[in-house]
Amino acid sequence: MAKKRRIGILTGGGDAPGINAVIRAVAKKAILDHDMEVIGIEDGYDGLVRNKWRRLDYNDVSGILTQGGTILGTSNAANPYQYPVKTGKRLELRDVSAVAIGNAKKLRLDALVSIGGDGTMHISNSLFRDGVPVVGIPKTIDNDLLGTDITFGFDSAVYVATEGIDRVHTTAQSHHRVMIVEVMGRNAGWIALHSGVAGGGDIILIPEIPYDPEIVAAKVRDRNRRGKRFSIVVVAEGARPKGGDVVIRRIVKESTDPVRLGGIGFVVGAQIEEMTGIETRTVVMGHLQRGGSPTPFDRVLATRLGTKAVDLILNRRFGCMVAVKGNTLTSVPLREVAKGTRRVQLNDPLIAAARSVGTCFGD
């Protein structure tokens, strides 16, 4: 009698709407179509290091399509190759990958499905190089993964950010203010660009286009002269002025991505108020963009990605990540995904469209 195949699933990095929909898709297809055993690794790669896991049956993943977060938990501070270990008051980063790989072998996993962003995919590539049969699924609200046109979680984050922009319009108009809306995205401007266009932002500042405070202020003054006594400014957390640096909120030494951006909205607000004399307020969307139920688009995309990952496993396409190219699902090598960050190109058609309707990018 043939051995029953067993796959593991883990979710790494920051949470994003749609993770549970992916877990559901992977597990249901594996169980219903191929009679596989499914193991849920808890708290991302931390679970692989500490051997924290549980079996996932059909009932465990039924009814989670619409839930935000992840039923398995996650961690963005558990890189097995740079694992934080405290010795007294000192924090050291140690390579405990042999422990993680050993635990994967003890679980007798025929494949490990890794759901995450660039940090998670970088770790996945290293584990594959060291003998673990890994298949990746692209997850990040930032939409900054190389090799795929879109990641699940992005549409949901844009929806939340756009709703926030819509809501500040009324107070901006009523009080004749400039309203700054700071959104996430790290070093890529995808969320700011899409939510800014969708929300009718007058000024959109993204990391890929360093801004000139004088040009931003001039746009606000020009709107005021034409009778538009308010302005909406959408700022990506990684935006920076020409010749300047990003604003860092804090450093988390034990994290795989230690730099935490945040606060640029208040900097831009102070610059605008000083240069124009117009009252300015800043709203930081923050983790609101990560929470809540995924949009219908993300539920569908997550289902497609999850079921495609099982196909890759069946075809032994390990060391690859499921990817979206146009309307088609394909796969790309993890080594290509791990090479860097996908950022907004200056010739992106959406930038051109936004400029055509009068949007200022601070340049």
Q: Is 154 helix (H, G, I), strand (E, B) or coil?
A: helix
What tokens appear for 354 in the block? 């936004």
Across 239-268, b (16+ Cβ under 10 Å) vs e yields: bbbeeeebbeeeeeebbbeeeebbbbbbbb
Q: H or E element: which one contains 325?
A: strand 320-325
Whether the CB-CB separation of 45 and 79 falls below 8 Å is answered with yes
Query: What distance lies between CA 140 and its chain's CA centroid?
Result: 2
User: What is the rounded CA–CA span in Å between residue 83 and residue 77?
Assistant: 8
User: What is the rounded CA–CA span in Å between residue 317 and residue 234?
Assistant: 41
Q: Is 13 left (phi over 0), alpha (psi -120 to 50) or beta?
A: left
Strands 37-41 and 6-11: parallel
Strands 134-138 and 320-325: parallel
User: What is the rounded CA–CA span in Å between residue 290 and residue 218?
Assistant: 34
Whether the CB-CB separation of 48 and 103 falls below 8 Å is answered with yes
Active-site residues: which are they?
142
Which residue, 141, 198, 131, is CA-closest to 164? 198
